[in-house]
Amino acid sequence: MSFSRKSLGIPYAVFLLIFVAAPLIVLVFYAFTNGQGQFTMHNLSSFFSDPNTLGTLFYSFAIACVTTAVCLLLAYPVAYILAMSTIPAKSVVLMLFVLPMWINFSLRITALKEILNVLEGNLAMHPFLNAVIGMTYDFLPFMILPLFTTISKLDGALREAAMDLGADSLRTFLQITLPLSVPGIISGVSMVFLPAMTNYVVLDMLYNSTYIMGSLIGSYFAAYNWHGGSMISLILLALICLFTLLTGGGEEETARGGALL
């Protein structure tokens, strides 16, 4: 038998089958069946009729929105200044922002918890604020990197052309740099927004008793309610797909940013 290039793809196909396709089929199967294995829409309807689950969805959405916005507002100036600067140690400074990611996640959050404890006294008093602070701390590099990559790649001649044509620095930024860095913004947002909806470990570790989508799924599974948990996962998946479809593109930037980590 001759060795063809196609056979190189076999391991990948097997991987996809076992770790992507199969779980997805199981997920869909569980989401639309009950304990007896019969088809049902009950899981779907109960999610949208239960004020608690809906409330959690909106609460998660709010946390994710605020976290993303804060990350964007913090990351853009950092990425912009770094990308525009001519300092030779640029990559070192960038590394300083990425460095926390190399420290164990639980250690980081525990340290943050101690700091917040000192500042706030009782952590339970500000669950929403703490969730946003924790997640911003955790996800900020994911916003900085794609933005930095996108802004660095912008052709400096475009800014010069804008200035040459009569635009001052502010107008040049608003009309040239900002619109052209949108792909970076999109990939940064998609890398922060979706984890922020589900990453309940951050909340747990900050002694936060509020529920986000991730905690909700976890609680269903913890109670052996595979069917309800699967349905919520599926709804999240649908939301993610919708979001990706709406924003389109940005994947290239994500990949590049990811490579830096």
Partner 1 sequence: MENKDTIIELRSITKEFEDGFKAVDDFNLEVKRGEFVTFLGPSGCGKTTTLRMIAGLDVPTSGDILLNGKSLIGLPPYKRPINTVFQRYALFPHMNVYQNIAFGLRQKKVPKDVIDRKVTRVLDLVDLEGFEERGIHTLSGGQQQRIAIARALVNEPEILLLDEPLGALDLKMRKEMQLELKNMHDRLGITFIYVTHDQEEALTMSDKIVVMNEGKTQQIGTPEDIYNEPQNAFVADFIGESNIFNGVMTGHLRARFCGGEFACVDDYEEGTHITAVVRPEDVEITAPEKGTIVGTVDSVIFKGMHYEITVVSGRNEMVIQTVHNANVGDRVGMRVDPENIHVMLAEDHTNQFYADINKDFRLEFNGHHLDTSLTKIIRGSRRLEDGRIVDSSGETIEPSRIRILVSIQPDDIDMTDDQDKGLIQGTISNLIYKGDHYSYVIHTELEQDFVVNDEYLWNMDDRVSLMMPVDKMKFSLRRK
By CB under 8 A, is residue 176 in contact with partner 1?
yes
Query: Nearest approach, Cβ of 13 to partner 1 (angstroms)?
Result: 35
Size of the site for partner 1 (CB under 8 A): 17
Find, among 154, 137, 139, the residue nearest to 80 by Cα: 154
Which of 66/180 has CB closer to partner 1?
A: 180
Question: What Rg value do the Cα atoms of the chain yield, rounded?
Answer: 22
Which residues within the stretch 192-231 sit at the binding site for partner 1 (CB under 8 A)? none
**Which of 66, 72, 123, 180 lies at the binding interface for partner 1 (CB under 8 A)?**
180
Which of 51/88 has CB closer to partner 1?
A: 88
Q: x/- contact string, 131-170, with partner 1 (CB under 8 A)?
A: ------------------------x-xx-xxxxxxxxx--
Which of 134/183 has CB closer to partner 1?
A: 183
Query: Nearest approach, Cβ of 175 to partner 1 (angstroms)?
Result: 8
**Which of 18, 175, 251, 252 lies at the binding interface for partner 1 (CB under 8 A)?**
175
Query: Nearest approach, Cβ of 76 to partner 1 (angstroms)?
Result: 18
By CB under 8 A, is residue 37 in contact with partner 1?
no
Find the angle CA(38)-CA(43)-CA(49) to the nearest 5 degrees: 145
Listed as own residue / partner, the contacts of 247-253 with beta carbons closer than 8 Å and 24 or more positions apart are 247/186, 247/189, 247/190, 248/186, 249/183, 249/186, 250/146, 250/183, 250/184, 250/186, 250/187, 250/190, 251/187, 252/183, 252/187, 253/146, 253/149, 253/150, 253/183, 253/184, 253/186, 253/187, 253/188
Which of 50/155 has CB closer to partner 1?
A: 155
Query: Nearest approach, Cβ of 37 to partner 1 (angstroms)?
Result: 53
The DSSP output letter for 1 is: -
Which of 180/201 has CB closer to partner 1?
A: 180
CB–CB of 72/188 below 8 Å? yes
Query: Nearest approach, Cβ of 156 to partner 1 (angstroms)?
Result: 9
Query: Nearest approach, Cβ of 253 to partner 1 (angstroms)?
Result: 15
Q: Return the C-alpha torsion angle 147, 148, 150, 156, nearest 10.
A: 130
By CB under 8 A, is residue 85 in contact with partner 1?
no
Residues 6+ apart with CB under 8 A from 110: 205
For residues 196 and 139, give the distance between their C-alpha atoms in angstroms, rounded to a whole number: 8
Q: Which stretch binds partner 1 (CB under 8 A): 11-19, 141-149, 171-179, 204-212?
A: 171-179
Find, among 146, 142, 138, the residue nearest to 100 by Cα: 138
Binding site for partner 1 (CB under 8 A): 155, 157-158, 160-168, 171, 175-176, 179-180
